[in-house]
């Protein structure tokens, strides 16, 4: 399954979702409607702590993506409205940006829970 994770800044939730999804065997990308200058430090630290490389992970714009090349587009829950992209699911996750590392850990745990549900549903 090829999944696109979308949010506003593409610096925290969608980046973690991309990395965690790839680690579970998904084809995955992430993008934002207003990409931040860089991936959040805590997001990168969390992925690296799980053995997931963040080399080359940078915030990207949804304008760079072809929505037709994805099986599913998931909004991370930041009120993203992408007129050119149909959102298949909205995970409505609280944005951890600027918060303590523990918030990133709990967000990652919820992302993993939802990815597991996707895996179970698609197999």
Say what the pTM is. Answer: 0.93
Pick the closest to residue 107 from 116, 94, 97 (CA basis).
94
**Domain spans of the chain, in order of start:** 2-122
Of the options 3.30.70.260, 3.40.50.2300, 3.30.230.10, 3.40.50.2000, the CATH number for the domain spanning 2-122: 3.40.50.2300
pLDDT tens sequence across 35-87? 999 999 999 999 999 999 999 999 999 999 988 899 999 999 866 666 567 88
Residue 87: per-residue pLDDT = 86
pLDDT tens sequence across 5-46? 999 899 999 999 999 999 999 999 999 989 999 999 999 999
Q: Could you tell me if 93 and 76 are in contact, meaning their C-beta atoms sit under 8 angstroms apart?
A: yes
| Rounded distance between C-alpha atoms, residue 5 and residue 19, angstroms | 10
């Amino acid at each position: 399954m090829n999944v696109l994770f979308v949010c506003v800044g593409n610096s925290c939730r969608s980046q973690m979702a991309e990395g965690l999804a790839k680690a579970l065997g998904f084809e995955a990308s992430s993008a934002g409607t207003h990409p931040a200058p860089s991936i959040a430090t805590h997001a990168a630290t969390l992925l690296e702590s799980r053995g997931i490389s963040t080399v080359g992970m940078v915030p990207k714009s949804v304008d760079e993506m072809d929505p037709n090349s994805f099986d599913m587009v998931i909004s991370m829950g930041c009120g993203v409205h992408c007129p050119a992209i149909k959102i298949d699911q909205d995970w409505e996750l609280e944005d951890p940006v600027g918060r303590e590392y523990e918030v990133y850990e709990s967000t990652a745990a919820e992302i993993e829970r939802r990815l597991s549900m996707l895996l179970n549903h698609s197999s």
